Amino acid sequence: MTAANNSKVKILVGKPGLDGHDVGAKVVVRALMDAGFEVIYTGLRKTPSEIAQQALDEKVDVIGLSSLAGSHLPYCKKLKGLIDQYGLKEKLWLIGGCVPKKDHAELKKIGLDGIFPNGSKLEDIIVYIEKNAKMKEDA
Amino acid sequence: MDGSSSDLKEVINESGIEIQPLYGPEDVEESGGIEFIGDPGSYPFTRGIHKEMYRKRPWTMRQYAGFGNPVDTNKRFKYLIENGQTGLNVAFDLATQTGLDSDNVLAEGEVGRVGMAIDSLRDMEIAFDGIDLEKITVSLTINGSAAILIGMYLAMAEKKGYDVSKLRGTAQNDILKEFVGRGTWIFPVEPSIKLVGDTIEYCAHNAPKYSPVSVCGYHIRESGCNPAEEIAYAFCIAKAYADEVKARGLDIDEFAGRLSYNLNIFGNLFEQVAKFRAGRGLWAKIIKEEYDAKDPRSMWLRMIAGGGGGGLTFEQPEVNIVRGAYYALISALSGTQTMALCSYDEAYTIPTEYSARISLRTMQLLMEETGLCDTVDPMAGSYYMETLTNQMRDKMEEIMTDVDVQGGVVEMIKKGELQAKVSGQAYQMQKDIDSGAFPKVGVNCYRVEEEEEHEVEFHPYNTKDAELQIESLKEIRASRDQVAVDKCLAQLKADAEAGKNVMPAIVEAVKAYVTVGEMTDTMVEIYGRYEEPIVF
Q: For residue A70, give the nearest of B97, B100, B113 by CB distance.
A: B113
How many C-beta neighbours within 10 Å does residue B405 have?
8
- Secondary structure letter of residue B445 according to DSSP: B
Structure confidence by residue, pLDDT tens digits, B490-530: 999 999 999 999 999 999 999 999 999 999 999 999 999 99
What integer is the mean pLDDT of B459-467? 89
Phi then psi dihedrals of residue B136, to 5 deg:
-110, 115
pLDDT at res. B454: 62
pLDDT band at residue A138 using 50, 70 and 90 as cut-offs: low
- What does pLDDT average to over chain A? 94
Q: Which residues in chain B are contacts of A17 at CB distance < 8 A?
A: 94, 109-110
Locate the chain A residue with the closest alpha carbon to B105.
Answer: A47
Cα dihedral B498, B500, B502, B507, rounded to 10, equals -110
pTM of the model: 0.96
Locate the chain B residue with the closest alpha carbon to A23.
Answer: B223
How many C-beta neighbours within 10 Å does residue B44 have?
20
- What does pLDDT average to over chain B? 95
By residue count, chain A amounts to 139
Q: For residue A33, give the nearest of B108, B313, B536 by CB distance.
A: B536
By residue count, chain B amounts to 536
What integer is the mean pLDDT of B124-145? 97
> Residue B301: exposed, middle, or buried by beta-carbon count in 10 A (0-12, 13-18, 19+)?
buried
pLDDT band at residue A134 using 50, 70 and 90 as cut-offs: confident
Contact A23 B222 (CB under 8 A): yes
Q: Where are chain A's structural domains?
A: 10-138
Q: Is A54 within 8 Å of chain B by CB?
A: no
Rounded to whole angstroms, the Cα distance separating B26 from B2 reads: 10
* B367 CA: distance to closest CA in chain A (Å): 33
Q: For residue B430, give the nearest of A17, A102, A122 by CB distance.
A: A122
* B69 CA: distance to closest CA in chain A (Å): 17
Rounded to whole angstroms, the Cα distance separating B430 from B426 reads: 6
pLDDT at res. B347: 83
Instruction: Give the DSSP per-residue string, B315-333.
Output: SSTTHHHHHHHHHHHHHHH
Q: How far is CA B103 from CA B106, B221, B510, in A?
A: 8, 34, 18
DSSP three-state, residue B40: coil
Q: Is A124 within 8 Å of chain B by CB?
A: no
Q: How far is CA B124 from CA B66, B150, B213, B328, B474, in A?
A: 12, 11, 20, 30, 16
pLDDT at res. B491: 98
Can you list the alpha helix ranges (DSSP code H) found in B370-439?
Answer: 383-405, 409-415, 417-435
Contact B113 A71 (CB under 8 A): yes
What integer is the mean pLDDT of B318-330? 96
Q: For residue B181, give the nearest of A23, A70, A101 by CB distance.
A: A23
Domains and CATH numbers, chain B: 12-452 (3.20.20.240)
Contact B348 A100 (CB under 8 A): yes
Contact B347 A98 (CB under 8 A): yes
pLDDT at res. B263: 98
| CB crowding B409-447: b at 16 or more within 10 Å, else e | bbebbbebbbbbbbbebbbebbbebbeeebebebbbeee
Structure confidence by residue, pLDDT tens digits, B256-281: 999 999 999 999 999 999 999 999 99
Q: Is A19 within 8 Å of chain B by CB?
A: yes
Give residue B253's identity as a one-letter amino acid code.
D
pLDDT higher at A2 or B159: B159
Q: Is the bond preceding B44 in cis, omega lying within 30 degrees of 0?
A: yes
pLDDT at res. B405: 98
pLDDT at res. B346: 84
- Alpha carbons within 13 A on the beta-carbon side of B476: 25
Structure confidence by residue, pLDDT tens digits, B160-202: 999 999 999 999 999 999 999 999 999 999 999 999 999 999 9
Indicate the CATH number for domain A10-138: 3.40.50.280
Rounded to whole angstroms, the Cα distance separating B114 from A76 reads: 18
Q: Which residues in chain B are contacts of A44 at CB distance < 8 A?
A: 183, 532
CB B347 within 8 A of CB B314: yes
Nearest to A98 by CA among A13, A12, A11, A22: A22
Rounded to whole angstroms, the Cα distance separating B375 from B372 reads: 7
Q: Which residues in chain B are contacts of A30 at CB distance < 8 A?
A: 423-424, 427, 536
pLDDT at res. B321: 96
Structure confidence by residue, pLDDT tens digits, B366-406: 999 999 999 999 999 999 999 999 999 999 999 999 999 99
Q: Residues of chain B with pLDDT > 70: what percent?
A: 98
pLDDT at res. B250: 97
Q: With 90 as the cut, is the pLDDT of residue B460 above it?
A: no
Q: Is A81 within 8 Å of chain B by CB?
A: no
* B265 CA: distance to closest CA in chain A (Å): 18
Rounded to whole angstroms, the Cα distance separating B388 from B271 reads: 7
What integer is the mean pLDDT of B470-479? 97
Q: How far is CA B402 from CA B29, B199, B272, in A?
A: 26, 29, 22
Query: What residues contact B250, with CB distance under 8 A and at least 6 apart?
Result: B200, B201, B204
Q: Is A123 within 8 Å of chain B by CB?
A: yes
Across the A/B interface, how many CB contacts are shorter than 8 Å?
92
CB B344 within 8 A of CB B355: yes
Contact A118 B97 (CB under 8 A): no
Locate the chain A residue with the closest alpha carbon to B447.
Answer: A119
Q: Which residues in chain A are contacts of B536 at CB distance < 8 A?
A: 26, 29-30, 33, 41
* A92 CA: distance to closest CA in chain B (Å): 24
Nearest to B170 by CA among B248, B87, B99: B87
CB B306 within 8 A of CB B341: yes
Structure confidence by residue, pLDDT tens digits, B195-220: 999 999 999 999 999 999 999 999 99
What DSSP element (H or E) covers B12? strand B11-12
Rounded to whole angstroms, the Cα distance separating A68 from A97 reads: 5
- 3-state SS, one letter per residue, for B261-297: EEEEECCCHHHHHHHHHHHHHHHHHHHHHHCCCCCHH
* A139 CA: distance to closest CA in chain B (Å): 32
Q: How far is CA B457 from CA A69, B319, B325, B460, in A?
A: 17, 15, 20, 9
Q: Residues of chain B with pLDDT > 90: what percent?
A: 92
Give residue B345's identity as a one-letter amino acid code.
D
pLDDT at res. B2: 52
pLDDT band at residue B349 using 50, 70 and 90 as cut-offs: confident
* B433 CA: distance to closest CA in chain A (Å): 9
Rounded to whole angstroms, the Cα distance separating B127 from B224 reads: 34
pLDDT at res. B81: 95
Contact A18 B178 (CB under 8 A): no
pLDDT band at residue B226 using 50, 70 and 90 as cut-offs: very high
Nearest to A18 by CA among B119, B342, B112: B112
Q: With 80 as the cut, is the pLDDT of residue A135 above it?
A: no
Q: Which residues in chain A are contacts of B532 at CB distance < 8 A?
A: 43-44
How many C-beta neighbours within 10 Å does residue B474 have?
13
pLDDT at res. B374: 97
Locate the chain B residue with the closest alpha carbon to A47.
Answer: B106
Q: How far is CA B294 from CA B251, B254, B284, B416, in A?
A: 10, 10, 11, 36
Q: Which residues in chain B are contacts of A31 at CB distance < 8 A?
A: 427, 430-431
Q: With 90 as the cut, is the pLDDT of residue A21 above it?
A: yes
Nearest to B201 by CA among B497, B519, B510, B504: B504
Locate the chain A residue with the closest alpha carbon to B347.
Answer: A98
